């Protein structure tokens, strides 16, 4: 089951607003070598951010929770998940929102993932599929 993630509209607009910058640098009347080099460096960065913007979701399979964020893929075995809670920890999780889901699994390992678009559906599905999930910590 694929579950879409929430996206902060301001972050999404910021990424989309960055798209014309390389073209402005390339085709400006006074384009010099420095602006062309900067444009060449910016193109793959913007490409990766756009890919992540449109290719981010969660997938719950029969055995794993798979969190996809662009090129980043996190696979967590469902039978090892012990708790899920929401957090505003911004340190080490790629996400399109500031609020994230913190998943604790297999002896205190932790993963931060993007917040699902429908958190209630996500939690119901996870409670059904994860035998160790502590239902009190949401």
CATH topology for the 1-138 domain: PH-domain like (2.30.29)
pLDDT at 81 (0 to 100) = 92
- The pLDDT tens digits of the residues spanning 69-117 come to 988 899 999 999 998 988 887 666 677 777 888 899 987 888 888 889 9
Q: Output the six-digit token pair for 104.
A: 């604790």
Residues in the chain: 138
**pLDDT digits over 29-69, tens only?**
676 777 778 888 888 989 998 998 899 999 999 999 999 99
Residue 5 CB-density burial (10 A; 0-12 exposed, 13-18 middle, 19+ buried): buried
**Structural domain boundaries of the chain?**
1-138
Structure token digits, residue 134: 């502590």
pTM across the whole model = 0.79
The whole-number pLDDT of residue 75 equals: 95
**DSSP 8-state class, residue 28:** -
| Each residue's pLDDT tens digit, 1-34 | 899 999 888 888 988 998 888 888 777 767 677 7
Distance CA 3, CA 58 (A): 5
């Amino acid at each position: 089951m694929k579950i879409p993630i929430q996206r902060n509209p301001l972050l999404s607009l910021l990424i989309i607003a960055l798209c014309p910058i390389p073209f402005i640098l390339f085709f400006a009347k006074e384009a010099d070598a420095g602006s062309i080099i900067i444009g060449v460096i910016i193109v793959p960065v913007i490409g990766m951010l756009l890919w992540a913007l449109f290719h981010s979701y969660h997938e719950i399979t029969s055995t794993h929770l798979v969190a996809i964020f662009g090129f980043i893929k996190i696979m967590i075995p469902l039978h090892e998940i012990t708790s899920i809670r929401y957090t505003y920890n911004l340190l080490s999780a790629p996400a399109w929102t500031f609020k994230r889901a913190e998943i604790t699994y297999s002896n205190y390992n932790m993963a931060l993932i993007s917040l699902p678009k429908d958190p209630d559906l996500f939690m119901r599905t996870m409670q059904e599929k994860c035998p160790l999930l502590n239902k009190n910590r949401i």
